[in-house]
Structure 1
Amino acid sequence: MPDSSNRTFARIADHYRSKILSGELPGGDRLPSNKELANTWGVATATVGRALQQLQVEGYIRTSPRGTFVADDPKTAATARDRLGRVIRLRTHLMDGETITVTSAALVVPPLYVAEIFDLDHGDQVVRREFTAGRGQTKTLFGVNWYPAPFAVLVPALLSTSRSKADDITAKVLEATKRHVTDARDDMHARPADAREASHLGLPIGAPILAGAHRWADDDGIIEYGEWCLPPRFTLGYAYNPQP
């Protein structure tokens, strides 16, 4: 059986990681002392220390003689799972403090691999939306999302680049289509940035990035397929159940 202290340490780290990612604990906020946290969670201070050490390694917090604080500019990013959770709970795929700029939105004939993902016939179209997200002066994500072409009739905002119509676009799609994401998958790999990605993220061509793709679907097929990449030195973190 897994050590219960290991489960508790991970649960504490997950709790504060989520609060920092959501913006509930903004940069500069001071965390309670280790002793106070230990009393709150009903664990030994050593367990709290392990959790905080993990968050420090990931870049979420910093320590000083005055205490433990949320990093002023944490190099953290939301996973596709985090963003889907935000859509379901709050109607937005953006994290607190994050803004979005949609650089293109159109019906297009997709590349072959995208056509295969959507099970399209030759020449069929899909909606393609290209965007950059950021927090302040920091770019947090460059992405391209794809949707079935019929969705554009139900959700005209899919073909708009207006910022005011962008943050809740996935929620609008789910509501208008009456679809529900029941199957989700993320794939990630590290590679050099191409010219387009480098331009959007303000990086040199060839800079290292973490690139990923998500597929959100139900029994009727793909609802949203997204491709995205993060600047270097950003950390993605997520919890999972180790039980089969």
Structure 2
Amino acid sequence: MGKKEQLAEHFRALIRDGKLKPGDRLPATRAIAEEHGVSEPTARAALAWLRAAGQIRTSQRGSFVAEDLGGSSSAQDRLRRAIRTGTTNAETENQQVTAAELIVPPSYISGIYDLEEGDQVVRREYVIRGLDGVVQALHVDWYPATFAIQVPALLSMGERTGGELLAAIEKATGRTVNHGRDAVRGRSADEREARLMEVEVGSSLLAGAHAWSDDAGLLVYGEWCLRADVEVGYEYQIQR
């Protein structure tokens, strides 16, 4: 990743994490260049990239975080934020847990975890709201039942985020997530999703799933839905 891309991603992360909020002013180009050890043209190019992505607005008064970001964090963003800060939530997000239970899961979850008939898993369901109170996402995380013994907070209705719980799981088990895979598709909201996301049944959603694992296997399988007007983006590097 070049210096321009690294600098743009630095500010993207600050915006995604809520460290830079809508309306916040970014430093002047010269100050950015001096702080990050790059040339002013590189700093201007990084800001131009953010501007083209709709993440900042520029006027004669300077560059500001866009008021209408309309975005949410991808599963990859949330995992990286959990590693970086200990929480999967941005500072501009609030989480409300709607279920935390030990249940016999649907057959596809049993297959993912290679369970015997009647085996249980932990199911945690929660919604994420922006500062405006609008539901941005609905999440359901599935964990091995044994984790509930090692980390009882998995069955608590408390507001601990997935990142905080993941840190507790890694500490209790000695395991560390080193691989993730995401999958996404567009579909319509069913009755449960519509009720929890406060939209009409049949509304368009971006639905996704992520699997976070280590060399020993899966630590958490998560499913989520985003509103149709919420944007989510990914970055990636290609090794050749």
TM-score normalised to structure 2 length: 0.88
Instruction: Write out per-residue CA displacement over residues 40-60 of structure 1, whole angstroms, 9 at most, x where no aligned residue.
Output: 563463x55554344234332
Q: What are the ranges of 5 or more consecutive residues in structure 2 without an aligned counterpart? A: none
Q: Counterpart of 1:168 in 2: which secondary structure?
A: helix
Q: Do residues 178 (structure 1) and 169 (structure 2) align?
A: no
Which deviates more from structure 2 when the two are superposed, residues 70-79 or residues 100-109?
Answer: 70-79
Alpha-carbon distance in 2 for matches of 1:142, 1:134: 9
- Distance across 1 between alignment mates of 2:161 and 2:61: 43
Instruction: Give the alignment partner of residue 79 of structure 1, picking from 74, 79, 92.
Output: 74
- Residue 92 (structure 1) aligned to one of 74, 78, 87: 87
User: Would the aligned equivalents of 1:142 and 1:200 in 2 still touch at CA under 8 Å?
Assistant: yes
Q: Structure 1 residue 189 and structure 2 residue 185: aligned?
A: yes
Give the aligned residue type for 1:233: D
How many residue pairs get aligned? The number is 238
Three-state SS of the structure 1 residue aligned to 2:21 is: coil
Tell whether the 8 Å contact from 1:83 to 1:94 is kept in structure 2 after alignment: yes
- Name the residue aligned to 2:99: 104
Task: Report the CA distance between 1:149 and its aligned residue.
Answer: 0.6
Residues of 2 paired with 1:37 and 1:159: CA distance? 45
Contact 1:60–1:75 (Cα < 8 Å) also in 2? no
Let me know the Cα RMSD of the aligned residues: 2.3
- Between stretches 35-44 and 51-60, larger displacement belongs to 35-44
Distance 2:217 2:59 in 1: 51
SS in 2 for 1:163: coil
- Render the CA deviation track for 1:118-148: whole Å, top value 9, x for unaligned: 0111111100010001222132221000000
Instruction: Determine helix, strand or coil for the equivalent of 2:127.
Output: strand
Question: What percent of counterpart residues are identical?
Answer: 42
Cα deviation 1:169-190 (Å, max 9, x = unaligned): 2221221122111221111122
Deviation sequence 1:175-227 (CA, Å, 0-9, x none): 11221112211111222222222222222222222211110112222110000
The answer to whether the Cα contact below 8 Å between 1:102 and 1:166 also exists between their aligned partners in 2 is no
Distance across 2 between alignment mates of 1:233 and 1:17: 19
Unpaired segments ≥5 residues, structure 1: 1-5
Does structure 1 residue 55 correspond to structure 2 residue 54?
no
Match of 2:12 in 1: 17
Assess, with a 3 A threshold, how the Cα gap between structure 1 residues 43 and 193 changes in structure 2: closer, same or farther: farther
TM-score computed with the length of structure 1 as normaliser? 0.86
The answer to whether the aligner puts 1:200 opposite 2:199 as a matched pair is no
Q: Matched residues in 2 for 1:41 and 1:234: separation?
A: 34
Q: Distance in 1 between matches of 2:212 and 2:28?
A: 40
The secondary structure found in structure 1 opposite 2:200 is coil
Residues 148-159 of structure 1 mapped to structure 2, 5 A cutoff: 148-159=144-155
User: 2:221 aligned with 1:225, yes or no?
Assistant: yes
User: What is the one-letter code of the residue matched to 1:94?
Assistant: N
